[in-house]
Amino acid sequence: MKKYLLQSSVLLLLLGLMSTSHAQGPENMHIPVFCDQGHSIQDAVDKAKEGATIDVWGTCYEAVLVDKDRLRFLGLEGNATIMPPCCTPAFQIISDGVSIEGFNITGAVTGIAITHGSQASIIYNVISDSGDSGIRVHSSSQAILVQNQITNSGNYGIRVRGSSQATLSGNTVTASNLAGVGVSAGSSARLAHNVITGNTNHGISVQTNGTVDLRNTNKISGNGGFGVSCEETAVLIVNKAQDFSGNGAGDVDVVPGPPSCFVKNQSGQPFP
């Protein structure tokens, strides 16, 4: 009887250890970063295992290189702010499965740069006063951009280029100097339920070999130039009716060719 009790105790101990090990695994690991107490997000990245979550509070004066897969960054309590040094992105992502959620990012050359064939989800961030772009997806990368607010970008609010792909849903892009969204160089973007308004030039600029697919209803209004400017060898696909009200130069500008912009209009709206 004692033998069986001993074996049962050992088995329960092993199961407990296995459970504890699982609970402490990378998928459940949270690393707290209190920037106002001198902590560093980059230090947390360097120490983290793939799959960890990095929880951030306070104002962080740093630029972060994300070079590990499946890291999740959470800005907590609505006050996680990133202010990087001059001429660097606040977050530069060169890995896969990364998620950045709930940050205020201000004063970067680019708020978030996704590059080197990376994959990332950018959700519920406020990105302002970027010297170049609020979010840049390039060099064969992929991104899902959801419910971000991007304002006052020096060039583009969101730029997708270099054989990259992006899905934009529910974002608000305002006060960009060149265009709210720019897509070019063999890249594509699908947009649904975005608000692209009050940009100095065009709402959306589709440039050489770029493709933009407008789905559901996007509000592309009140921009200084066209709602959408589509240049030579670019493609514009419109699957649903869009709100193009109040753009300074008109709804859609199609640069004549050949080679011209190819427009596939399935919305029934009376534009080229």
pLDDT number for residue 14: 38
Sort 53 into a burial class: Cβ within 10 Å, 0-12 / 13-18 / 19+: buried
If you average pLDDT over every residue of the chain, what do you get? 91
Answer whether 250's CB lies under 8 Å from 225's CB: no
Identify the three-state secondary structure at position 197.
strand
Please state the domain extents for the chain: 26-152, 178-272
Dist. CA 51–CA 48, nearest whole Å: 8
Q: Which two tokens stand for residue 209?
A: 């070999």
* Distance, CA of 148 to CA of 90 (rounded, Å): 15
Alpha helices in the chain (DSSP H): 2-23, 41-47
Q: What is the pLDDT of residue 24?
A: 53
Q: How confident is the model at residue 4 (pLDDT cuts 50, 70, 90)?
A: very low
User: pLDDT value at position 3?
Assistant: 43
Tokens 């702010």: give the residue.
Answer: 81
Q: What is the pLDDT of residue 213?
A: 98
Label the pairing between strands 250-254 and 219-221.
Answer: unpaired
Q: Strand ranges (DSSP E) for 118-232?
A: 119-123, 126-128, 133-137, 142-146, 149-151, 156-160, 165-169, 172-174, 179-183, 188-192, 195-197, 202-206, 211-215, 219-221, 226-230
pTM of the model: 0.90
Neighbouring CB atoms inside 10 A of 111's CB total: 34
* Residues 134-192: tens digit of each pLDDT: 999 999 999 999 999 999 999 999 999 999 999 999 999 999 999 999 999 999 999 99
Predicted confidence (pLDDT) per residue in 215-270, tens digit: 999 999 999 999 999 998 999 999 999 999 999 999 999 877 777 899 999 988 87
| Predicted pLDDT of residue 232 | 85
Q: Do 145 and 125 form a contact (C-beta atoms < 8 A)?
A: no
Confidence grade of residue 2 (pLDDT, cut at 50, 70, 90): very low
- Looking at the chain, the whole-number percentage of residues with pLDDT higher than 70 is 89
Residue written as token pair 């209009």: 265
Whole-number pLDDT of residue 25: 65
Let me know: does 62 contact 41? Beta carbons within 8 Å: yes
- CATH class entry, domain 26-152: mainly beta
Q: What pLDDT sits at residue 260?
A: 84
